[in-house]
């Protein structure tokens, strides 16, 4: 495509359409100029490809491989895992005609209660950047683009649609922006997805400092900046700030404002042209038809299991593991048969198949006899979907009470006790000292059961290391008193997040960052320095093949790492060269904004704030009735994975509705809830009956889309 020629021939109406998405996951085509539509799909650890008319659950999605989530992948400390996973996902993208994957998510894990931590890599920006860049390289090596998200300071869920992240420039530059910077400079992602929230008072979608000054001018980003779904605000301000594409689009108000802005001069034509130019280049590079070549689904299922096994973390082992196979086992816990293998929310995948621990045990003839007759107890526990999900933050850092009670009860039986954990974020482990071994799988993807069997029975040796700190209790967190409590999220702890905080203040932790045991032993020499290069020799001093991770910390921060795999007696020398980068002094101050009143409500208020008035409660319940209907339909389905997935989708929609705002809901719902409806919701809730009615009756007139003109 000759981008400049096409751009010169485009009308203003066509340009306004091009910078807006359509049909939820597509860019607008310009048929007159042979500009095709580009298709996107949710990621980042597999495809959630909605069928026509599908909802936000996964029951109407096409089958795809559910790989381990980012929380698991980062614990492997091996970029090759992320790269191979990215390549496989890209093959599935091409098979389904998906041109750009929405992921990976690289936001810093500031607090373990963030409901979406399972989808993020680490509390450390270097580790998150390296693993994230590898996934980007893997996907894009197969001709599929990515959208790295959520830029920036999107570290909680409760107020993500309207929240204001308040932080100093030093805090942002040295921690929260670092993973994005690394990926932009090392992997050249096709697109960046801006977050819903404000940063120091300005929404990310119209934050010129973020989108232009830092991202483009400093880091050299040349791709497309798109919104998260429904994150557009003032469309003219967004274009002037460096926002290219509004998703999911089909919002009449945004196109109207663009057209009016060009006409009255408030939007310079060059700002619109810059966005169109970026989108045209992206479409030209990635908008390819579906690849008819079949996908080797079995190979991808096996790969998911390999990655899960390499990333699992052995947190405790008093010699009971690996199992010899001769033990008399008593197996307990709901997650043995109903393994939790993925998170809840927009990344939920309809897996091609699922291998649970029970499936793997059955395939190898491993039985559970009665507790009294056993010598070893296996307990499968952790966080369930009700406890962590996109759309809301966790209420506390505890496991479900029934899981805690089960562990306590069986640990007191006098048997050797092994706990296998599932979950996307740390949780308190009050029973840690009562059990003999703990194997943490995080969320291991659809073939997690195979990985569990291989690790428990010594077919494979655990080699994962924690990519985040596990505190003793939530109260030990520096942000525990304020996290997720209001619209203004103050990053008062600065860069003292995760291991930086615990090490500096000598706070005891349950498991430190980088911790993980093995069935073999290793000896590591001290780091030796030669210029900017550091070397360390690692030797496998045990009797099993295994892997260890060399980690280089300088001035208390991770600066390099490498995973080495060694046979018994084998040694390897690791060399890590650290770039001599300038260390500018950034401003370490921030301004605490005034508290935001919850009433009167505005289009930016949290949707639950509508409940403050009689009319608002009617509107709130009217919208929620759609979600309740979805839940009733899901619960009527026969028992099985399809029903479970539909219920998860309904729960997710309820959480999303509660944390949404009328404005973001209108920006996401397109023609079903135009912007004037959002205005009407606010006016009616505030008791302005006639103003509200006028808002609902108002029409926003825009030209037909280019594809509609073609059809006409």
Section 6-12 average pLDDT: 98
> What DSSP line would sit under 337-356, residue for residue?
TS---S-SSTT--EES----
pLDDT tens-digit map of 324-333: 999 999 999 9
**Residues designated catalytic:** 228
pLDDT tens-digit map of 115-145: 999 999 999 999 999 999 999 999 999 999 9
Return d(Cα 546, Cα 78) in angstroms, integer: 14
pTM for the complete prediction?
Answer: 0.96
Residue 56 has pLDDT above 70, yes or no: no
Of 560, 566, 561, the residue nearest 547 (C-alpha): 566
Q: What is the pLDDT of residue 346?
A: 86
Of 683, 310, 691, the residue nearest 518 (C-alpha): 310
Element (H, E) at 382: strand 376-382
Q: What is the pLDDT of residue 58?
A: 46
pLDDT tens-digit map of 400-412: 999 999 999 999 9
The residues facing 381 across adjacent strands are: 421
Q: Between 54 and 325, whose confidence is greater? A: 325
Find the farthest-apart pair of alpha carbons in the chain and give their distance in angstroms, rounded: 83
Residue 57 has pLDDT above 70, yes or no: no
Domain boundaries, the chain: 37-251, 607-711
Of 557, 552, 558, 594, the residue nearest 576 (C-alpha): 552
Look at 185-194, 286-295, 523-532 and tell me which has the smallest mean pLDDT.
Answer: 286-295
Of 171, 10, 306, the residue nearest 590 (C-alpha): 171
Share of the chain above pLDDT 90, in %: 88
Tell me phi and psi for residue 437, to 5 degrees: -155, 150
Do the beta carbons of residue 254 and residue 235 sit within 8 Å?
yes
Section 335-350 average pLDDT: 92
Section 352-378 average pLDDT: 96
pLDDT tens-digit map of 225-261: 999 999 999 999 999 999 999 999 999 999 999 999 9
Cβ-based neighbour number of residue 184 at 10 Å? 26
Of 261, 311, 348, the residue nearest 50 (C-alpha): 348
Do the beta carbons of residue 165 and residue 199 sit within 8 Å?
yes
Residue 711 has pLDDT above 80, yes or no: no
Do the beta carbons of residue 517 and residue 316 sit within 8 Å?
yes
Q: What is the pLDDT of residue 648?
A: 80
Q: What is the pLDDT of residue 99?
A: 98
Residue 205 has pLDDT above 70, yes or no: yes
Average pLDDT over the chain, rounded to an integer: 95
Look at 50-59, 412-421, 626-635, 677-686 and tell me which has the smallest mean pLDDT.
Answer: 50-59
Q: What is the pLDDT of residue 640?
A: 78
- Dihedral angle, C-alpha 200, 468, 102, 562, nearest 10 °: 120
Q: What is the pLDDT of residue 51?
A: 75
Q: 37-251 has which CATH code?
A: 3.20.20.300
Return d(Cα 241, Cα 599) in angstroms, integer: 30
pLDDT tens-digit map of 621-666: 998 898 888 889 888 888 877 787 788 888 888 888 888 999 999 9
Section 197-211 average pLDDT: 98
Section 578-596 average pLDDT: 91
Evaluate the omega torsion of the peptide bond into residue 152 and state whether it is cis, within 30 degrees of 0.
Answer: yes
Q: What is the pLDDT of residue 649?
A: 80
Section 91-120 average pLDDT: 97
Q: What is the pLDDT of residue 709?
A: 84
Of 157, 160, 132, the residue nearest 146 (C-alpha): 132
Section 143-148 average pLDDT: 98
pLDDT tens-digit map of 17-37: 999 999 999 999 999 999 999
pLDDT tens-digit map of 293-321: 899 999 999 999 999 999 999 999 999 99
Cβ-based neighbour number of residue 697 at 10 Å? 9
pLDDT tens-digit map of 520-573: 999 999 999 999 999 999 999 999 999 999 999 999 999 999 999 999 999 999
Tell me phi and psi for residue 236, to 5 degrees: -65, -45
Q: At how many degrees (to 10) do helices 675-685 and 662-669 cross?
A: 160
Look-up of token digits 């001769």 = 326
Q: What is the pLDDT of residue 386?
A: 84
pLDDT tier at 52 (50, 70, 90 boundaries)?
A: low
Q: What is the pLDDT of residue 665?
A: 92
Do the beta carbons of residue 28 and residue 705 sit within 8 Å?
yes
Q: What is the pLDDT of residue 581?
A: 82
Residue 382 has pLDDT above 70, yes or no: yes
């Amino acid at each position: 495509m000759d981008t400049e020629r096409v751009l010169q021939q485009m009308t203003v109406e066509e340009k306004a359409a091009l910078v807006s998405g359509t049909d939820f996951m597509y860019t607008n085509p310009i048929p007159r100029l042979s500009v095709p539509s580009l298709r996107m799909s949710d990621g980042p650890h597999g495809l959630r490809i909605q069928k026509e008319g599908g909802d936000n659950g996964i029951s109407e999605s096409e089958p795809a491989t559910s790989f381990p989530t980012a929380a698991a992948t980062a614990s492997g400390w091996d970029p090759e895992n992320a790269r191979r996973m990215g390549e496989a996902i890209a093959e599935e993208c091409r098979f389904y005609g998906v041109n750009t994957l929405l992921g990976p998510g690289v936001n810093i894990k500031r607090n373990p209660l963030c409901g979406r931590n399972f989808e993020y890599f680490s509390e450390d920006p270097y580790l998150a950047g390296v693993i994230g860049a590898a996934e980007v390289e893997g996907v894009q090596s197969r001709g599929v683009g990515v959208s790295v998200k959520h830029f920036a300071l999107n570290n909680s869920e409760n107020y993500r649609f309207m929240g204001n992240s308040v932080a100093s420039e030093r805090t942002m530059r040295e921690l929260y922006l670092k993973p994005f910077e690394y990926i932009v400079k090392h992997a050249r992602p096709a697109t960046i997805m801006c977050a819903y929230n404000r940063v120091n008072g300005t929404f990310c979608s119209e934050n010129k400092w973020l989108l232009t000054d830092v991202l483009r001018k400093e880091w050299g980003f040349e791709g497309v900046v798109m919104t998260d779904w429904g994150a557009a605000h003032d469309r003219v301000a967004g274009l002037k700030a460096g926002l290219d594409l509004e998703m999911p689009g089909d919002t009449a108000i945004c196109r109207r404002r663009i057209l009016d802005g060009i006409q009255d001069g408030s939007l310079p034509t060059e700002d619109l042209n810059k966005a169109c130019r970026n989108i045209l280049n992206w479409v030209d590079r990635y908008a390819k038809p579906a690849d008819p070549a079949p996908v080797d689904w079995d190979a991808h299922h096996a790969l998911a299991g390999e990655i899960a096994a390499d990333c699992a973390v052995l947190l405790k082992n008093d010699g009971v593991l690996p199992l010899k196979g001769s033990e008399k086992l008593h197996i307990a816990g709901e997650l043995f048969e109903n393994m939790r293998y993925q998170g809840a929310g927009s990344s939920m995948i309809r897996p091609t198949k699922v291998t649970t621990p029970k499936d793997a045990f059955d395939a190898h003839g491993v039985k559970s006899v009665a507790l009294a007759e056993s010598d070893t107890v296996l307990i499968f526990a952790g966080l369930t979907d009700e406890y962590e999900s996109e759309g809301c933050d966790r209420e506390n850092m505890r496991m479900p009470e029934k899981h805690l009670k089960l562990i306590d009860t069986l640990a007191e039986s006098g048997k050797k006790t092994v706990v296998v954990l599932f979950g996307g974020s740390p949780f308190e482990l009050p029973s840690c000292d009562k059990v003999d071994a703990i194997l943490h799988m995080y969320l291991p993807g659809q073939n997690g059961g195979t990985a569990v069997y291989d690790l428990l029975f010594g077919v494979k040796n655990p080699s994962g290391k924690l990519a985040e700190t596990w505190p003793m209790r939530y109260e030990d967190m520096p942000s525990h008193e304020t996290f997720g409590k209001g619209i203004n999220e103050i990053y008062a702890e600065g860069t003292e997040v995760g291991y930086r905080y615990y090490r500096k203040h000598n706070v005891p932790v349950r498991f430190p960052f980088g911790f993980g045991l093995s069935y073999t032993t290793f000896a590591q020499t001290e780091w030796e320095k030669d210029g900017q290069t550091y070397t360390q020799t690692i030797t496998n001093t045990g009797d099993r093949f295994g892997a260890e991770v060399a980690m280089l910390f300088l001035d208390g921060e991770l600066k390099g790492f490498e995973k080495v795999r060694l046979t018994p007696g084998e040694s390897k020398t690791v060399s890590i060269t650290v770039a001599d980068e300038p260390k500018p002094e950034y401003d370490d101050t921030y301004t605490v904004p005034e508290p935001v009143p919850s009433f009167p409500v505005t289009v930016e208020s949290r949707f639950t704030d509508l409940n403050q008035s009689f009319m608002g409660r009617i509107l709130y319940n009217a919208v929620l009735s759609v979600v309740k209907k979805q839940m009733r339909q899901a619960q009527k389905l026969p028992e099985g994975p399809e029903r479970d997935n539909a219920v998860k989708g309904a729960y997710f929609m309820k959480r999303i509705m509660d944390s949404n705002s009328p404005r973001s809901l209108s920006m996401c719902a397109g023609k079903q809830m135009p912007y004037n409806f959002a205005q009407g919701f606010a006016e009616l809730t505030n008791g302005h009956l006639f103003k509200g009615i006028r808002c609902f009756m108002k029409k926003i007139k825009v030209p037909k889309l280019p594809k509609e003109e073609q059809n006409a």
